[in-house]
Structure 1
Amino acid sequence: MTPTASALRVPRAVVFATMCLVVSAGGHALAGGGLIPPHLAVLGALIAFCVAYALNGRERGVEVVLGATTGAQILLHELFGRAAPASHAMSSVEHGHSGLGMTVVHLVVALGTGWWLHRGESAVWLMIRLYGGPRPLIRLLFAVPAEVASPVWRAVPAAEVRPYGGWEILPVLRRRGPPAPRHAG
């Protein structure tokens, strides 16, 4: 594992866990399951963090990110569904957990979130490659020249001073305005 990958391991796992928790808990609350108790949210975030930390030792492809997001989404859905608060407890048919629709919604959301996370992951690794390459392009943007030549100012003698304009801009002045109308014929 490279030093860059190990330095980014915890932040990447935190982003993954946060996205999975927010999407799953938000979907659970919007579907009528009620708010998630804080201890359950922490447990779900910890589970998602551990999954992400185990997988992100290096840059991963889209199939790994989508698979991990889908797995975490299903795991969190089951965790939140089984431990619903007593005030919001419903039968699984009323809540929609057993239906095909809820499964499809979770898969679509997991695929969308996974794709978004993969694109962010690709962008981060691209930035790292650009910064650490043989001719680091990003370093060139922030490079400061070693010596900046300051302009030399000199006084212009009064004999050389003339009004602005003259023969250099006379053709331009003549061509100002719309083109002259041409008559057919």
Structure 2
Amino acid sequence: MTSTALRVPRAIVFATLCVVVSAGGHALAGGGLIPPHLAVLGALAAFCVAYALNGHERGPEVVLATTVGAQILLHELFDGAAPASHLTVSAHGHPGPGMTLTHLVVAMGTGWWLHRGESALWLMIRLYGGRMPLIRPLLATPAGVTPPVRQPVPVTGVRPYGGWEILPALRRRGPPAPRSVG
């Protein structure tokens, strides 16, 4: 199920959340406030990446990888505007382990949160979309994409599994048999 009507709002949510979390993390880590022009540039970059990737519902691996990538991109962008602190720069001039770990943890949490929100959105569209006239356009399939063919499973061909592989486990099930003393 694809929808082009949801691409822009989903990309806006992704970009906004990534920039707010990254800029807030930099400010809390002692990097200072991010200049507005860098925040807008970061939001545009994150928006473009999200818009390119969100043509349809994505799994957790894509959402998490994209969020981690966006956090790295935003960290590099914001790093030039922030004064060095003990969290941001190690003795060799590279990002310190505290900043790297913070970005990874925040990116994983944010990515998981975004994935769960996307899953909930698509579930609501699938469940209620056919009944609500305002949601029906979101379910429209773009030209050139064929929806999957749904075929019911015949009831006569279904039987419970009880093969020879589980028979020893079934025989040993329950409390041990009582032993006679004597």
What TM-score do the two structures reach when normalised by structure 2? 0.65
Q: Aligned partners of 1:131 and 1:28: how far apart in 2?
A: 41
Tell me: higher relative CO, structure 1 or 2? Use CA pairs within 8 A at least 6 residues apart.
2
1:115 equivalenced with 2:119 (yes/no): no
Count the aligned residue pairs. Answer: 130
Q: Which runs of 5+ in 2 are unaligned?
A: 134-182
Runs of at least 4 residues off by over 6 Å: none
1:35 equivalenced with 2:33 (yes/no): yes
What TM-score do the two structures reach when normalised by structure 1? 0.64
Q: Aligned partners of 1:9 and 1:33: how far apart in 2?
A: 33
Q: Aligned partners of 1:129 and 1:19: how far apart in 2?
A: 25
Q: Aligned partners of 2:106 and 2:47: how far apart in 1?
A: 19
Higher gyration radius (CA) = 1
User: Which one-letter code corresponds to 1:22 in the other structure?
Assistant: V
Post-superposition Cα deviations, 1:149-183, rounded to whole Å, max 9, x if no partner, equal xxxxxxxxxxxxxxxxxxxxxxxxxxxxxxxxxxx
Task: Give the superposition deviation at 1:105.
Answer: 1.3
Q: Would the aligned equivalents of 1:18 and 1:45 in 2 still touch at CA under 8 Å?
A: yes
Task: Give the superposition deviation at 1:52.
Answer: 0.4
Q: Would the aligned equivalents of 1:44 and 1:79 in 2 still touch at CA under 8 Å?
A: yes
Match of 1:173 in 2: none
1:48 equivalenced with 2:29 (yes/no): no
Post-superposition Cα deviations, 1:100-137, rounded to whole Å, max 9, x if no partner, equal 2221111111000000000000000001101235xx5x
Q: Percent identity?
A: 78
Q: 2:95 aligns with which of 95, 98, 102?
A: 98
Q: Which has the higher helix share?
A: 1
